[in-house]
Structures are given as structure tokens and as C-alpha cells.
Amino acid sequence: MPRDYKQQLDDIIQAITFIREYVKDMDYKAFEADRKTQHAVIHNLEVIGEAARSMPDEVKDNAAEIEWYKIIALRNILIHEYFGVNLKIVWDVVRNKLDALESTCRKLL
């Protein structure tokens, strides 16, 4: 039975909350040196990407300001090219993209 899109939005919001917890007192240098935090953040970005991938198109169409295809593409890179992950891109997403995504997800609920 497919999950309701609201559950997927909740998954995204929860993953963002976890990521913020993990990096709250970090700068990039500390993040780059902390493999446990890297793995935890990457896992939650994968969760976000999977939820976005499974989200019905009509829901995504109602939030066209979010570049859903980029979220899904990042998920694919993280899952299939783990050893080739660019931590600078991950850090940029964490610091510059999650606020807008969370705000939009909350509006869609």
C-alpha cells in the first residue's frame, strides 16, 4: 500500500531536523573531519531524496519553487556513487537549501 504524501512530507521534515541536530555547532572543516556526522547527514539526505522521488507529481507541481529533480538527483548520487560524494556539495545543501525545503513541506501539509 503506497504511503500517503503527508507521511513523505513528514519524513522530509524529520530528516531535516536530524541533519540540523548533527551539524548545529559545526563548520565545514569540522564536518569534513567527522565521518560519523557525514554518514548520518548523507543518510538523511538519502531519506529526503527517496521521499521526494516517491512524492506524487501533483504534490510536487504545487511546490514548483522546489527543484525536486535536483533533490532526487542528489539521492541517486549519494546512493550509487557513495565513494565519489563531494562533501562540499553536501555541506552547501545542508547550509543553504534545507530551510526552503522545510518551509515548503510544512505548507504542503
Residue-range definition of the domain harbouring residue 95: 5-108
- The number of domains in the chain is 1
pLDDT of residue 90: 97
pLDDT of residue 1: 59
Q: Can you tell me the mean pLDDT for 9-28? A: 98
The whole-model pTM stands at 0.94
For the annotated catalytic residues, the residue numbers are 75, 80
In angstroms, what CA-CA distances link 29 with 35, 69, 91? Answer: 12, 29, 10
Of the chain, the percentage scoring pLDDT greater than 90 comes to 92
